[in-house]
Amino acid sequence: MSQEVGQDTTGFETDASAGPTSDVMVEVEDLKTYYDDGGLLSNTPVKAVDGVTFDIRRGETLGLVGESGCGKTTLGRTLLQLEEATAGEIRFDDTDVTKLDGDEIQTWRKNAQIVFQDPDSSLNDRMTIGEIVREPLDVHDWETSRARRQRVKELLDTVGLQREHYYRYPHQFSGGQRQRISIARTLALEPDFVVLDEPVSALDVSVQAEIINLLEDLQNEFGLTYLFIAHDLSVVRHLCDRVAVMYLGNIMEIGPTEELFTNPANPYTHALLSAIPRPDPTVERNRIMLHGTPPNPRYPPSGCPFSTRCPARIRPEEYRGLDDALWTRLITLRGLINERKRAELSIRERVKSKLGGSTRFGTVEEIYDELFGDLKVPSSVQPVLDEIATHLRGRDEDGALAVFDEEFGGVCERESPDYQTVSETGQQTLCHRHTGDYESPETVLDRRHG
């Protein structure tokens, strides 16, 4: 975590050592990165990053968290122009880097570097450590050959390696030492901004703390700004000034770390944090179980990106008083229908079903019995369930979903939410529940899962 952090007049945390021009180093606006694989499905790209807006302040560490596949790496790589942005702007100190041409990018990239999760894939085993760390200096034709050699030796000192290591090869080093080599290489051109893409995930737990400490020391020594991509929320809590929570290509919540961990706003953040193992397993906790898996980023849902799994989804007026247990089972049913729909695309499942074999989803009767057998289903809900069942028996998952959403859907499925600021420190969340027209996610989650 950066050390020199103060408060500006707006109450935002600021870096007291920031340059005179602005506290903001990177401004990202409505950024989209879509992957078009050029195949049969090329008309429907993977929306890996689907319209994110945020900034990164000079000297801070911004954490980027979220389930696997939510777009963290793509976002990090797009900021560095290692992936081409499909739309939107990325302004580094007021230069929109998405507009730079090849040579300009090459020059600009000195300022912005990346450390990868797996040092093995980024270190060429046939090059000596000296050659590896020196390579960026050679590419940018930095000073003289002698000065480069000297710089590499200093960098080896800086990251806690020895100068004699210059002539050794990567395979002679441990995982932690190899990550130190990649960090030295990253620092060679004195960047201001570094994307750390899961830099300790591949390392033994005992080594992780050493590398984290090194990254903190380097940040303080060189005034670096970090985007820290991670799965491990405890590391994020320790290291980051602010955190952005990603889901299906969107930033669902962003805010100061402690505030986000102790007072999460977005239902997705609630769910993510509730899954962190507690130090004392005897203490009861209310884990929020998310149903199903995230939607395919090629086909994100309409409305809120989290609507298909949200445990605090807003119900239509007429169902607000419905028993919470029944509502939860209805949401589970929707998840199951979605899974069946995806399985429809699986040839194996289709063949099995055609041959009359049982599929892993069981019959509609079995599903209904499992979900609703022990609950009293009111007469307003039963006819809808019957209609859904008819569609399911005919293997018409789309029809079943349409009936479901028409009856039980609401604003979350219909409208994209806007960012709402929920604290004086600038914590922002993408959720209809924060517009003031509805109960807060916390109230609803306490009632439904408390």
Ligand X SMILES: Nc1ncnc2c1ncn2[C@@H]1O[C@H](COP(=O)(O)OP(=O)(O)OP(=O)(O)O)[C@@H](O)[C@H]1O
Is 195 one of the binding residues for ligand X (CB under 6 A)? no
Taking the least distance from each CB to ligand X, the nearer of 220 and 296 is 296
What mask of x and - would describe binding to ligand X in positions 5 to 34, judged by CB under 6 A?
------------------------------
| Integer CA distances (angstroms), 357 to 290, 322, 343, 362, in order | 29, 37, 14, 10
Q: In terms of DSSP H, where are the helices of 25-118?
A: 72-79, 102-108
Is 69 one of the binding residues for ligand X (CB under 6 A)? yes
Is 68 one of the binding residues for ligand X (CB under 6 A)? yes
Size of the site for ligand X (CB under 6 A): 13
Residues between 273 and 302 that touch ligand X (CB under 6 A): 297
Reading phi first (left if > 0) and then psi (alpha if -120 to 50, else beta), residue 167 is in alpha
Judge contact between 275 and 287, C-beta under 8 A.
Answer: yes
Taking the least distance from each CB to ligand X, the nearer of 74 and 269 is 74
Q: List the one residue from 35, 108, 372, 419 that touches ligand X (CB under 6 A).
A: 35
Q: Taking contact as CB under 6 A, which single stretch among the options 64-72, 88-96, 134-142, 338-346 is the one that binds ligand X? A: 64-72
| Integer CA distances (angstroms), 328 to 153, 241, 422, 448, in order | 60, 35, 27, 8
Distance in angstroms (rounded) separating the CA atoms of residues 102 and 100: 7
Rounded to the nearest 10°, the torsion over CA 314, 334, 413, 405 is -100
| In the complex, minimum distance from the CB of residue 43 to ligand X, in angstroms, rounded to a whole number | 15
Query: Which DSSP string do the residues of 122-151 spell out, in sequence order?
Result: HS-TTS-HHHHHHHHHHHTT-S-HHHHHHH
Strands 95-96 and 419-421: unpaired
Judge contact between 165 and 138, C-beta under 8 A.
Answer: no
Taking the least distance from each CB to ligand X, the nearer of 66 and 267 is 66
Residues between 309 and 348 that touch ligand X (CB under 6 A): none
Is 46 one of the binding residues for ligand X (CB under 6 A)? yes
Cβ contacts of 38-44, under 8 Å, gap ≥ 24: 41/298, 44/298, 44/299
Q: List the one residue from 70, 114, 271, 403 that touches ligand X (CB under 6 A).
A: 70
Q: Taking contact as CB under 6 A, which single stretch among the options 61-69, 158-166, 335-343, 368-376 is the one that binds ligand X? A: 61-69
Is 182 one of the binding residues for ligand X (CB under 6 A)? no
Residues between 219 and 238 that touch ligand X (CB under 6 A): none
Q: Which of 55, 50, 75, 80 is nearest to 65 (CA)?
A: 75
> Hey, what are 441's tokens?
């996610």
Q: Taking contact as CB under 6 A, which single stretch among the options 70-78, 166-174, 183-191, 404-412 is the one that binds ligand X? A: 70-78
Angle at 43 between CA 41 and CA 48, to 5 degrees: 80
| In the complex, minimum distance from the CB of residue 393 to ligand X, in angstroms, rounded to a whole number | 32
Is 422 one of the binding residues for ligand X (CB under 6 A)? no
Is 86 one of the binding residues for ligand X (CB under 6 A)? no
Taking the least distance from each CB to ligand X, the nearer of 116 and 173 is 116
Is 403 one of the binding residues for ligand X (CB under 6 A)? no
Q: Which of 179, 197, 257, 194 is nearest to 72 (CA)?
A: 197
Q: Taking contact as CB under 6 A, which single stretch among the options 66-74, 166-174, 258-266, 312-320 is the one that binds ligand X? A: 66-74
Q: Taking contact as CB under 6 A, which single stretch among the options 67-75, 154-162, 179-187, 280-288 is the one that binds ligand X? A: 67-75
Query: Which DSSP string do the residues of 146-174 spell out, in sequence order?
Result: HHHHHHHHHHHHHTT--GGGGGS-GGGS-
Contact set with ligand X (CB under 6 A)? 35, 37, 46, 48, 66, 68-74, 297
